[in-house]
Amino acid sequence: MKNNFIFFLLTIAVGLYACKTGNSTRSELRGFTQGTGFSVIFYHDNKIDESLVEEEINEILINFDNSLSTYNPESIISRVNNNEEVDLDTLFVNVFNKSYEIWKLTRGAFDITAAPLINAWGFGPDATRRFNESIKDRLMDLVGMDKIKIENGKIIKGDPDMQLDVNAIAQGYSVDVLYNYLERKGIESFLVEVGGEVRTKGYKPGHEAWVIGLDKPEDGNITPGVNRQADIMLVDKALATSGNYRKFFVEDGVKYSHTIDPSTGYPVRHKLLSATIITTDCMTADALATACMVMGREKAIELVSSLENVDAYLVYSDEEGDFRTWFTEGMVEYIYD
């Protein structure tokens, strides 16, 4: 369900760099986590213990993996999927509850119980495609957040074969978790980015906004930041993008997107190429961006137009195959000329 997010932890390697900028110090942490890169940039007055920040961010990311990574066989979500007895932690519960909220809001377009479908199409942890018509109905029986719940700190499944995949929301949530940590440290100017999902606080020195590049959603554009669709100014907001241009397979001349529609069981076939959402938290932005990619342009426009404090930037192809854009009225203030 997510284009630029393979959620597993091979290792967490954190490198810290710092330099003096005017009356403040610019510190930057870069590393590898959840199968992708992350960066944390913050400005401070040298009262911050940078080595402690590095250590604590490392610990946060390890805890996150131990809760929500389906590529970690000992994680809480892996044990839930294997029907093992396990106590849920706050990270898991928060993601589950937000997922249920977005599931209701999008009328099922966003659904973390679509894991059996995602796995069957070869976009899960083992990347083995097994989908065929003979098993479709059984897979569809396992989809729907009305069939699963949390009760007394445990997951209760309507069917033991149900499984969860939170890749389309957990990356955004990891941004929020790091954001909340930095805010508690008293840092007033920072940016958190994990795999392209971003949240910022305050301005850079000189009252400069943070500028975020949106990649052009075209096949072959595999290097983030090289070929950009637009630049976005972001202050005290979160941004997430989902698209179908980096993860897909082609069979018999047909391109199959990694975005699976939970209502049909098949990859989507519409002309919406990418959806960028700006709102107050990255977990919501992440889930809504994915929901838009499932729904397609017209339904996505209807959805975001009905929501308060949510702005969207959609890129789609017209009948001639040319790129076209649609964005909310409020997005105008974010676009950097």
pLDDT single digits (tens) 241-291: 998 654 433 444 444 457 889 999 888 888 898 899 999 999 999 999 999
What pLDDT sits at residue 122?
Answer: 78
What pLDDT sits at residue 249?
Answer: 36
pLDDT digits (tens, 9 = 90+) for 189-228: 999 999 889 999 999 999 999 999 888 776 554 445 556 7
Tokens of 69: 């990574």
Q: Which long-range contacts (CB under 8 A, 24 or more apart) does 315-319 make?
A: 315/216, 315/217, 315/229, 315/243, 315/272, 315/273, 315/274, 315/275, 316/271, 316/272, 316/273, 317/271, 317/273, 318/271
SS3 at position 213: strand
Say what angle helices 282-295 and 297-305 make with each other, to 10 degrees: 140
SS3 at position 247: coil
Residue 282 amino acid letter: C
What pLDDT sits at residue 223?
Answer: 47
* pTM of the predicted model as reported, rounded to 2 decimal places: 0.88
What pLDDT sits at residue 18?
Answer: 53
Is beta strand 148-151 parallel, antiparallel or unpaired with respect to 36-44?
unpaired
Q: Residue 136, CB half-sphere, CA atoms under 13 Å: how many?
A: 11
Question: Is the pLDDT score of 12 beyond 80?
Answer: no
Q: Give the domains, in start order, of the chain with CATH numbers.
A: 82-160 (1.10.3980.10)
What pLDDT sits at residue 11?
Answer: 35
DSSP class of residue 234 equals: E
What pLDDT sits at residue 271?
Answer: 84
Tokens of 318: 């017209």
- For 22-123, strand residue ranges (E) read 24-33, 36-44
- Give whole-number Cα distances, 29 to 159, 235, 308, in Å: 43, 20, 33
Nearest to 43 by CA among 198, 207, 224: 207
pLDDT digits (tens, 9 = 90+) for 53-74: 999 999 999 999 999 988 889 9
pLDDT digits (tens, 9 = 90+) for 101-148: 999 999 999 999 999 998 887 776 665 667 688 899 999 999 999 999
